[in-house]
Structures are given as C-alpha cells and as structure tokens.
Amino acid sequence: MSKLGLLGLGSFSTLFYIKELNALYNAKHGGFSTCPFKMLNVNFDTINNLLPNTSKALDAIVKDNLNKLKALEIDTIVVPNITLHETIDRLSIEANIIHPIDETISKVKENKHTNVTIFGTLYTMQSNYITSKFTAENINVLQASKEDKQQIDDLRIAVYNGIETQKQLEIFNELINKHTKNGVVVLACTELSVAYNIKNNRVYDMARIQMRKFVNLL
C-alpha cells in the first residue's frame, strides 16, 4: 500500500481535497473510515504571490516543500493546485506525484474523445500549458468565446469568495451543456470543481480524477 502525502496549499483547495478524499475513501471502505495520508501545510502566500508564472524562485520554494513532504516517508504525493503542476514539471522529485492533467488525458483517451474545452482561470484558458499537453496526445482543444471565458472566471472568483449566485451557477451549467455538444469539458480549477454539481459523463473534473487515483492506491 502506498504511503500518501498531501501538500496543503491554502484553506479553500486544501479543505476541499481533505473532504473529498475522506468521502471517496469512505465510499470505498465504509464504516467510519477516513483517508490515511500525511499532510505538510505550507504558507500558500509565498507561493501564490509568484503564480501563475513559472520562475526559479517558485521552483525553489515548491521543490523544498515537496522534499519536506517526501521526508515524512511519503512515496505518492497529491498537490491541490493544477496551475502549480507547470512548475512541478520542471523539477526532479523522486516521488510519484499524481498529475491531474496527465491522468485526465488518459481518461479522455480511454473514452476515445478527440475534442475538449478547458474550463479554468482566465490564465489557464488562455495559456498554452494545458493545451499543449492535450494537443501532444492528438486531442483538439476547442476555445470558448471571450464572453464564456469571462463568465467562467467570474464564477470561479465568486465561489472562492463564497458569494456565487444561483444565476451564476445556472449559467455555468448552461455553458457545460453548450460546450459538451462538440466534445467534452475539462474542469481545471478547484473552484469550478466545487461549483460543479450535475451529472454529465462528458465532463472530466481534473481534481476529482486526481483524488480518485490517490484513493485507489490504498
């Protein structure tokens, strides 16, 4: 059985991951079971102030924290921040880090989908990082309109601040239905994972795919 570790990165995403990991583990094992893992909670401010861009300064901070987590006799790590994996890709960490993008690509290919639309932060939707990973696997990345991207990012910010409205959630579900007509939607942001509450087998939630892989190792 793998020895699992979670890097704590800010209250919002970390608490969401803890809750979901416990729920997934309990669904698998029943009773009063909760997911056994070790966590290193770091000062996210030092990391967040350097995001979303990669830099040598960010490399050093992330590598130091991952090595500290690994030193807790951890062999498999989950990092609850999808943007941060662009930095992790640059590092040499001798541990199995469950990569939300790579795991999602595997699922999309397994189900033979060829078109995806990325829902995330404005930075994520406009940058080449995630897009290049999908296109390298011969998966087309369709672009949402500028207006749709802005509505997605507005919802993300509102969810983070706990002020999302029912109207915003309805628009989000409408956008999912709209963009799953010509392919699948990939959720690449924790706030959007929290907002997502409908069942649609054409939606791939990176955070939950990452966490299911984590729990399945136990």
Q: Tell whether the model's pLDDT for residue 112 goes beyond 90.
A: yes
**What is the CATH code for 103-205?**
3.40.50.1860
- Residue 20 contacts residue 211 (beta carbons within 8 Å): yes
161 DSSP assignment: T
C-alpha 197/C-alpha 195 separation (Å) is 6
What is the predicted pLDDT for the residue at 1?
67
What is the predicted pLDDT for the residue at 198?
79
Mean pLDDT, to the nearest integer, of 184-211?
94
Amino acid at 196: Y
Q: Nearest 5°: phi and psi at 76?
A: -135, 130
Q: Tell whether the model's pLDDT for residue 195 goes beyond 70.
A: yes
User: What's the half-sphere exposure (Cβ side, CA atoms, 13 Å) at 169?
Assistant: 13
Q: Tell whether the model's pLDDT for residue 153 goes beyond 70.
A: yes
What is the predicted pLDDT for the residue at 69?
95
User: What's the half-sphere exposure (Cβ side, CA atoms, 13 Å) at 123?
Assistant: 11
Q: Tell whether the model's pLDDT for residue 120 goes beyond 90.
A: yes
214: CB partners within 8 A, 6+ apart: 4, 21, 37, 76, 78, 98
Mean pLDDT, to the nearest integer, of 11-39?
96
At how many degrees (to 10) do helices 206-216 and 11-29 cross?
50
pTM metric for this prediction? 0.93
34 DSSP assignment: -
Mean pLDDT, to the nearest integer, of 177-196?
95
What is the predicted pLDDT for the residue at 200?
84
Q: Tell whether the model's pLDDT for residue 92 goes beyond 90.
A: no
Task: Name the 3-class secondary structure at 121.
Answer: coil
CATH of 4-100+210-216, one of 3.40.50.720, 3.40.30.10, 2.160.10.10, 3.40.50.1860: 3.40.50.1860
C-alpha 177/C-alpha 20 separation (Å) is 24
- Edge-to-edge strands of the sheet including 76-78? 38-42, 4-9, 76-78, 96-97
Q: Tell whether the model's pLDDT for residue 68 goes beyond 80.
A: yes
Q: Tell whether the model's pLDDT for residue 109 goes beyond 70.
A: yes
182 DSSP assignment: S
> Quick one: pLDDT band at residue 94, thresholds 50, 70, 90?
confident
What is the predicted pLDDT for the residue at 186?
98
Look at residues 218, 178, 203, 207 and name the one whose alpha carbon lies nearest to residue 79: 207
What is the predicted pLDDT for the residue at 185?
98
Q: Where are the domains of the chain?
A: 4-100+210-216, 103-205
